[in-house]
A and B are shown apart, each in its own frame.
Chain A
Amino acid sequence: MQESNFPQPTPEQLAGFQEGDPLVINEVVELVLPSILRWAWIQYQRLPPDDVRDIVHQVLAEICYHAARYDPRRSLFTTYVIGLLKRRLADLYATQQERDEKEEYGPDAHEKLLSLPYNETEALDEDTRLVREEFFHSVEEHLEPAEREIFQLMRKGVKSSRAFAAVLVRYGPVSDEANEVKNAKARLMRKVTFLAKTLGYAPEDLR
């Protein structure tokens, strides 16, 4: 099992926790809550702190309610809490993201976005389009899930860095959104270029 920087309950506390002992449950919460909440505030700085706190509270309350579900042999207590938290915070991030985009682009943003690839595709030479499609399909098979989603967004012509950040945040915490999106895109482009060479595609067929 991995080491952790978070304070961990003792084996005795974990045993009491699993048995549903109310006092021990309170001890465990008092031990881990401040550090986990501070961690969440730092990792998810783009989310309103009160919303982050609400999610942390909800997750902890559910864990306490179903105390017997936690198995200390499988993971550290804080790893278990953070694993559940990441999923919830990613959902919150996506909701926030959607709200921000509606405010930024207006109610017809979705239609505008959909029209972009269609218009682009029409202008392409049919052979080039086929080669491109075949290439993109091959590339996607070699990408990690997060890279694949970013790749699909880039193909759709999405420009908003928040859309890319929403993908990244589903696969882990994002502290510096702009930088991490930029790096992820750059890494992906390097990988795609490398794959194009490896798979024998001519750059002119892909432009």
Chain B
Amino acid sequence: MTQNRANEDGTPVTALQTDAEILHKWYEYASQQPGSIGSLLQLLRFRQRKSEEQQRREFEVSVADFTKLQSMRSPRPDHFHSDAQRIARACHVGQVFHFEQTLMLARNLAGHAPSTQGDVYEAAFDAFTSDQSMTEEE
């Protein structure tokens, strides 16, 4: 079994993993969990037929920071604006406003917060997808 793997000095192989490696695995796991930013962005990628790489470039964020960003829990409904901005700053997102808008769009799409403000973004989203299909047709 793999559990008895050890180096020559008897140190288990797993003990040699760095904090960064351990956290990277966590980010990957957490980003797939319901309620994470990753799950919201994935929903939007599916609707917009975008790749993760495209989305990352739009936000102007590094690969490592994007992995961490996606692992975080979604902003709280009652602190949405400030949470989204703080998350964007912590993960060195270049396009903070775009990130915040995208997140709100995804949240509304997921049906988390049906509101007047959400309707505006939903409309913007519909317009965006229409534009995209027109581009595809061209």
Contact = CB atoms under 8 A, between A and B. Distances in A.
Contacts, number: 75
Contacts of B3: 44-49
Chain B CB within 10 Å, residue with most, of A26, A37, A41, A48: A26
Interface in B69-124: 71-76, 79, 83, 86-87, 90
Contacts of A47: 3
B15 interface: yes
A22 B39 CA distance: 14
B75 A22 contact: yes
A49 B71 CA distance: 22
B108 to A, nearest CB: 18
Interface string B8-46: 000011110001001101100110010101000000000
Tell me the interface secondary structure of chain A in the complex. helix
Interface residues of B, number: 31
B2 A49 contact: yes
Interface string A17-55: 001111101100110011001100110111111100100
B30 A22 contact: no
Interface of A: 19-23, 25-26, 29-30, 33-34, 37-38, 41-42, 44-50, 53, 57, 60-61, 64-65
